[in-house]
């Protein structure tokens, strides 16, 4: 049976305060760290009963997503769950705020995160070799299709993914996400004509589990162009 997935947007980063896209790989603000505590309380209350053997955590290797995962899912970290870093869940744009740092910079700070399967070209987003991470409709849609297919075949019963608002909206789920908000999905029974796995939103998740996000969905790929 395919897993239930929890899609989480990172908490507030410094670039979110004034839309300063020139900040490179920004960290969380003080408010962002507080948001992580609310996120943690909600996740633990709702989903903390899952045995750790049935749980996986996947995180974009950006500083703000790793910080969000480390605070918001700290009970899993404390119980020995190894978080998996994946470049496939990074943000769409190649602005400095959405471009990561070399993995070597963070390995000591985040020993509970396994970086071994991060794409070797990380954090490259602009060379021909990095075209799968391009900020185009076709690339984002294809990446979203790919990550859903990978999740569908995983053995765990519950998978947390800590990622980014634009990719979660345009490439994966069709919903906007407020900082540190999340939604829970199950895989639907249908597959689209393009072979894409479909998602079914859990009841009461329209505005996000914390009630902070816009309720209405938007078309996948909206606002992106080739």
**136-174, pLDDT tens digit by residue?**
999 999 999 999 999 999 999 999 999 999 999 999 999
pLDDT digits (tens, 9 = 90+) for 7-26: 999 999 999 999 999 999 99
Residue 223 pLDDT level (bands cut at 50, 70, 90): confident
Cα–Cα distance for residue pair 89/148, rounded to 1 Å:
11
Average pLDDT rounded to a whole number, residues 50-71: 98
Domain borders along the chain are 4-201
pLDDT at residue number 141: 97
Q: How many angstroms from the chain centroid is the CA of residue 126? A: 21
Q: How far is CA 184 from CA 7, 160, 193, 202, in A?
A: 6, 9, 24, 6
Q: Give percent above pLDDT 70 in the chain.
A: 100
Residue 178, pLDDT > 90, answer yes
Residue 39 pLDDT level (bands cut at 50, 70, 90): very high
pLDDT at residue number 226: 86
Average pLDDT rounded to a whole number, residues 218-222: 94
HEC assignment per residue over the chain: CCCEEEEEECCCEHHHHHCCCCCCCCCECHHHHHHHHHHHHHHHHHHCCCCHHHEEEEECCCHHHHHHHHHHCHHHHHCCCCEEECHHHCCCCCCHHHCCCCHHHCCCCCCCEECCCCCCCCCCCCCHHHHHHCCCHHHHHHHHHHHHHHHHCCCCCEEEEEECHHHHHHHHHCCCCCCCCEEEEEEEEEECCCCCEEEEECCCCCCCCCCCCCCCCCCCCCCCCC
Average pLDDT rounded to a whole number, residues 30-47: 98
pLDDT digits (tens, 9 = 90+) for 101-133: 999 999 999 999 999 999 999 999 999 999 999
pTM of the full predicted structure? 0.98
Q: How far is CA 140 from CA 32, 61, 71, 146, 170, in A?
A: 26, 17, 28, 10, 7
- Tokens coding 134: 């391009």
CATH of domain 4-201: 3.40.50.1240
Cα–Cα distance for residue pair 204/225, rounded to 1 Å:
32
């Amino acid at each position: 049976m395919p897993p239930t997935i929890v899609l989480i947007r990172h908490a507030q980063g410094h670039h979110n305060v004034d839309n300063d896209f020139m900040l490179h790989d920004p960290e969380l603000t003080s408010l962002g760290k507080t948001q992580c505590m609310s996120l943690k309380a909600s996740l633990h209350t709702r989903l903390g009963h899952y045995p750790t053997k049935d749980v996986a955590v996947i995180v974009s290797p950006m500083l703000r997503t790793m910080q969000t995962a480390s605070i918001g899912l700290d009970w899993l970290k404390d119980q020995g769950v190894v978080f998996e870093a994946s470049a496939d869940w990074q943000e769409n744009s190649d602005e400095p705020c959405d471009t990561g740092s070399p993995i070597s910079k963070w390995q000591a700070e985040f020993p509970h995160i396994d970086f071994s399967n991060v794409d070797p070209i990380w954090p490259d987003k602009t060379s021909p070799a990095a075209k799968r991470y391009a900020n185009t409709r076709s690339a984002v849609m294809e990446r979203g299709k790919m990550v859903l297919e990978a999740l569908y075949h995983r053995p765990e019963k519950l998978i947390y993914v800590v990622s980014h608002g634009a990719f979660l909206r345009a490439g994966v789920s069709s919903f906007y996400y407020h900082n540190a908000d999340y939604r829970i999905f199950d895989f639907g029974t249908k597959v689209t004509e393009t072979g894409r796995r479909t998602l079914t939103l859990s009841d009461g998740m329209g505005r996000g589990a914390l009630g902070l996000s816009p309720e209405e969905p938007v078309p996948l790929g909206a606002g992106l162009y080739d």
